[in-house]
A and B are shown apart, each in its own frame.
Chain A
């Protein structure tokens, strides 16, 4: 069962990173999804981090 969850989690995280919905540097999210331990607030922090990254990137580009 864990292998199934791991395989699906891997694919999910790959797509989330590819579509830049989460940061490419997110390390724990795959394990958290695989183990079913990710919580509402973890998701929020991940997206907030990605928003900050995007904002920083666009600021750098503007400069």
Chain B
């Protein structure tokens, strides 16, 4: 992706439409402007379009998003439009919510913006906030989830292993206790256990089962017999009561011969009959005409007169019914009894060690079961001692069986638990080893990532601050705390200190920039737009050159680098070819007003300005040409004399004039002062051995020296002598300067030969030009 143009209207400072066209062959755009001319509006427009942020407004508290729109414009006028070689992206403002609406709203260009206000926030953040910034680079949360599940398994296996080990120990103790209780048979626990376990207990179990069956039936039988006895007792009482009632009735009838029981019975039945009818008009017996009520009254009167007889008759009837009921209940017990006694006999006579066979000899045999009860009652006294004998014997068998079963069961448990414990131990070993691998791999990955970021930051920081006793920047996780990212650096003799404690503000600024660029690089697959919005406040000449150099080196990792600055020396480094101006698009913003909005101006390189004055007679301007040529020469000579370490009289401000700078180029230096133009190879690189041209500079320097007075006479001051200088001399002065500059300036990058890696000459970064000597001889 390449950026083509950015159109902004009604957005913040862009009160009028403004379009910034990007040079397709330049990766860096530098916008220079004094404060208040719209630099941040342009940067914010890109941020608003490509991210969820609103740019520099985010750095301020209590922001009013309604001011995203320019003053005096309508909401529907706001438009940010970024055209690339493949797509157009637009942002507008919602009519109702002051929110930016994007089209398309997905797959927007990736953008990372650093503003002055954020520059040291990462450094000064708490370790946990710092972690959040880096979390997307080192977030292995899914690995941590897998790790956490594995830890759960280890806890669970550990618990199971503990429980099984305890159960195993308990089973062993139980067996030992049994052995000791049995007085240590065979004098060896293991031998005894093996012997016991191998014993065949099936006969004993069978006998126990048979005995238990007999005892069970016996118990049931006892309950049934007990019930029969109770019922029989009740039945006997009922017979006595019936006899008493019948005797009482007989005595009454003897004393009252007229009291006919049959008549009373007839009357009672008549009463019942009449009560069941609603209407009746004659006596049901004699058919004499009468009303129902009169008939009922007559019957009741007669029954009342026979009250005593009635009571006695009812008593006989009730006791008789009770007796019959009890008789039936008694007989209902006999049937189960017969079944049970037969079962008991059949089961007990099989127990040959007991006397049941003899006791039942000849009884409980016939098909007529009516005498079974009597037969049983007869032999019950003999059966009871036999049952007691059986019970006692059975307890003894039971004890043996229980003991054997307990030994067997504990032994089986020991075998099973031993196997289980071994299995759990193996599983635990595997799980713990796996956890160790996962933990170490995860930590190692994070440490490597952070080391890689730290190393990148360190390389960049050393580019800006070489040999200054600073750096060794380290980002690392504190594994004792969750999500805690620490930052340390060196400070001269002190190592691993927190840089914010001792570094100067400008050193922290450059550290913040390096960290930001390093992180942005991690996210960029040469597809991130990098914005550095006014991040440099004030740095000295050398540090500025190194920062510029760093940005040019790092630009290759991004799709585009967008720099805004109000720092004029930065602008001047490019204008005077002191920085590689061929690779940047240079834009200047001037004179913002509400009426004009953001105004783009194309700043001229000094060399181009000189050429402009020479290009056509109507462009010629003596004073301007002399002045600009003189200043440009001073800049070139400042560069050369500094690098050659020429001898100059010390001044407080190092504000040397052209004459002083030219005069300090010694004879010895001028003898050796030469430029080699290296051969351009088909690969596009310059040869490191062959040069196409070698030019000694003494002639041209002498030529400039002969005309140096023009700089002041015409270009700086009003003097009479200045007016005597001919236009052709001024043109010669400018042309000689152009020739001198073009011999030194790299045709690729547009900067001067400022590198001395060889140790014997200066060369441009591209290797196009070599300048001799290294220092003044």
| B441, A40: Cβ atoms closer than 8 Å | no
Contact A8 B149 (CB under 8 A): no
Interface of B is mostly: helix
Is B445 touching A7 in the complex (CB atoms < 8 A)? yes
Q: B146 an interface residue at 8 Å Cβ cutoff?
A: yes
The interface residues of chain A lying within 8 Å CB-to-CB of B149 are 38-40, 42-43
| Known A32-B146, A35-B142, A39-B149; contact A12-B437, beta-carbon cutoff 8 A | yes
Q: Is B621 an interface residue (CB 8 A)?
A: no
Segment at the A interface, from B133-141, B247-255, B558-566, B744-752: B133-141
Question: In whole Å, how far is B281's beta carbon from the nearest beta carbon of chain A?
Answer: 94
Nearest chain-A residue to B432 (Cβ)? A21
B266 at the interface (CB under 8 A from A): no
* Chain B residues whose C-beta falls within 8 Å of the C-beta of A19 in the assembled complex: 433, 437
Are B152 and A40 touching (Cβ within 8 A)? yes
Q: Give the Cβ gap from B342 to chain A, nearest Cβ, in Å.
A: 58
**A2 to chain B: closest CB distance in Å?**
8
User: How many angstroms from the CA of A23 to the CA of B431 in the assembled complex?
Assistant: 13
Name the interface residues of A3-60: CB closer than 8 Å to any CB of B: 4-5, 7-9, 11-12, 15-16, 19, 21-22, 32-44, 47-48, 50-51
Are the CB atoms of B140 and A21 closer together than 8 Å? Answer: no
Interface residues of B in 405-458 (CB under 8 A from A): 423, 426-427, 430-431, 433-434, 437-438, 441-442, 445
When A4-B140, A22-B434, A40-B153 are in contact, do A12 and B427 touch as well, CB less than 8 Å? no
B143–A12 CB distance below 8 A:
yes
Which one of B136, B137, B438 lies within 8 Å of A12 (CB-CB)? B438
- Min Cβ gap B771→A in Å is 47
Q: Does B150 contact A (CB under 8 A)?
A: yes
| Smallest beta-carbon distance A6→chain B, Å | 9
Q: Is the CB of B142 within 8 A of A50?
A: no
Q: With A21-B433, A33-B142, A47-B431 in contact, is A8–B153 under 8 Å at CB?
A: no
How far, in Å, is B229 (CB) from chain A's closest CB? 65
Q: How far is the CA of A16 from the CA of B146 in the complex (A)?
A: 14
* A residues less than 8 Å from B140 (CB atoms): 4-5, 8
A35, B431: Cα distance in complex, Å = 20
Q: Which of B142, B146, B156, B437 contacts A15 (CB 8 A)?
A: B437
Cβ of A16 and Cβ of B434 under 8 Å apart?
Answer: yes
Task: Give which listed residue, A9, A37, A51, contacts B143 with CB less than 8 A.
Answer: A9
Question: Closest approach, in angstroms, between the C-beta of B570 and any C-beta of chain A?
Answer: 37
Smallest Cβ-Cβ distance to B446: which chain A residue:
A8
Least CB distance from B745 to A in Å reads 44
A32, B156: Cα distance in complex, Å: 21
With CB as the reference atom, state the residue of chain A lying closest to B152. Answer: A40
Chain B interface residue number, banded: 20 to 34
A34→B426 contact, CB < 8 A: no
Is B203 in contact with chain A by the CB < 8 A criterion?
Answer: no
Instruction: Verify B427–A48 contact, CB threshold 8 A.
Output: yes
Contacts of A5 in B (CB 8 A): 139-143
Given contacts A38-B149, A40-B156, contact A16 B437 (CB under 8 A): yes
Chain B, residues 141-160, CB within 8 Å of chain A (1/0): the string is 11111100110110011000
The secondary structure that dominates the A interface is helix
What chain A residues lie within 8 Å of B426 (beta carbons)? Answer: 51
Do A8 and B152 touch across chains, with their CB atoms under 8 A apart? no
Contact status of A8 and B139, CB under 8 A, knowing A39-B149, A50-B430: no
The contact of B142 among A34, A43, A44, A48, by CB within 8 Å, is A34
Indicate which residue in A11, A12, A21, A42 contacts B430 across the interface (CB closer than 8 Å).
A21
Among B130-189, those with CB < 8 Å from A are: 136-146, 149-150, 152-153, 156-157
- State in angstroms the CA–CA spacing of A47 and B137 once bound together: 31
Complex: chain B residue closest to A50, CB-CB: B430
B contact residues around A9 at 8 Å (CB): 142-143, 146
CB distance from B265 to the nearest CB of A (A): 87
With A36-B145, A43-B149, A44-B153 as contacts: A51 and B430 at CB distance below 8 Å: yes
- A53 CA to B495 CA in the complex, in Å? 52
Q: CA A39 – CA B146 in complex, angstroms?
A: 7
Give chain A residues whose Cβ lies under 8 Å from the Cβ of B157: 44
Give the residues in chain A near B137, CB-CB below 8 Å.
4
Q: Are A8 and B143 in contact (CB under 8 A)?
A: yes
Give B115 Cβ to nearest chain A Cβ, in Å: 26
The residue in chain A whose Cβ has the minimal distance to the Cβ of B141 is A36
What residue in chain A is nearest B156 (Cβ atoms)? A40
| Distance of A48 Cα from B427 Cα, bound (Å) | 7
A36 engages B142 (CB within 8 Å): yes
Shortest beta-carbon distance, A5 to chain B, in Å?
4
Residues of A within 8 Å of B142, CB to CB, are 2, 5, 9, 33-36
B residues within 8 A CB of A35? 142
Given the known interface contacts A12-B437, A40-B152, A43-B153, the answer about A51 and B138 at a Cβ–Cβ threshold of 8 Å is no
- Chain A residues within 8 Å of B150, by CB: 40, 43
Give Cα A22 to B146, complex, Å: 15
Given A7-B445, A8-B442, check contact A21 B145 (CB 8 Å).
Answer: no
Instruction: Give the interface centre of B156, B426, B430, B437 by most chain A CB atoms within 10 Å.
Output: B430
Q: Which of B141, B146, B430 has a CB less than 8 Å from the CB of A47?
A: B430
Q: Most B CB atoms within 10 A — which of A2, A19, A44?
A: A44
Chain B contacts for A37, CB-based, 8 A = 145
**Cβ contacts under 8 Å, A7 to chain B:** 445
Tell whether, in the assembled complex, residue B143 and residue A21 are in contact, meaning their CB atoms are under 8 Å apart. Answer: no
CA distance A42 to B142 in the complex (A): 15
Q: In the docked arrangement, what's the CA distance between A34 and B146, Å? A: 8
Task: Name the CB-closest residue of B to A51.
Answer: B426
A residues in contact with B145, CB < 8 Å: 36-38
Q: Is the Cβ of A51 less than 8 Å from the Cβ of B445?
A: no
B146, B433, B437: residue with the most chain A Cβ atoms closer than 10 Å = B146
Q: How far is the CA of A40 from the CA of B153 in the complex (A)?
A: 5
Cβ distance A59 to chain B, nearest Cβ, rounded Å: 15
Neighbouring B residues of A39 by C-beta, 8 Å: 149
6 contacts between A and B (CB under 8 A): A1-B136, A5-B142, A16-B434, A37-B145, A38-B149, A44-B157
Query: Interface of A with B (CB < 8 Å)?
Result: 1-2, 4-5, 7-9, 11-12, 15-16, 19, 21-22, 32-44, 47-48, 50-51
Besides A12-B437, A36-B142, A47-B434, 17 other A-B contacts (C-beta < 8 A): A5-B141, A9-B143, A9-B146, A11-B445, A21-B437, A22-B434, A32-B146, A36-B143, A36-B145, A38-B145, A40-B153, A42-B149, A43-B434, A44-B157, A44-B427, A47-B431, A51-B427
When A and B form their complex, which 10 residue pairs have the shortest distance between CB atoms, in order from nearest? A36-B142, A36-B145, A5-B142, A33-B146, A47-B430, A40-B152, A40-B153, A43-B153, A38-B146, A40-B149
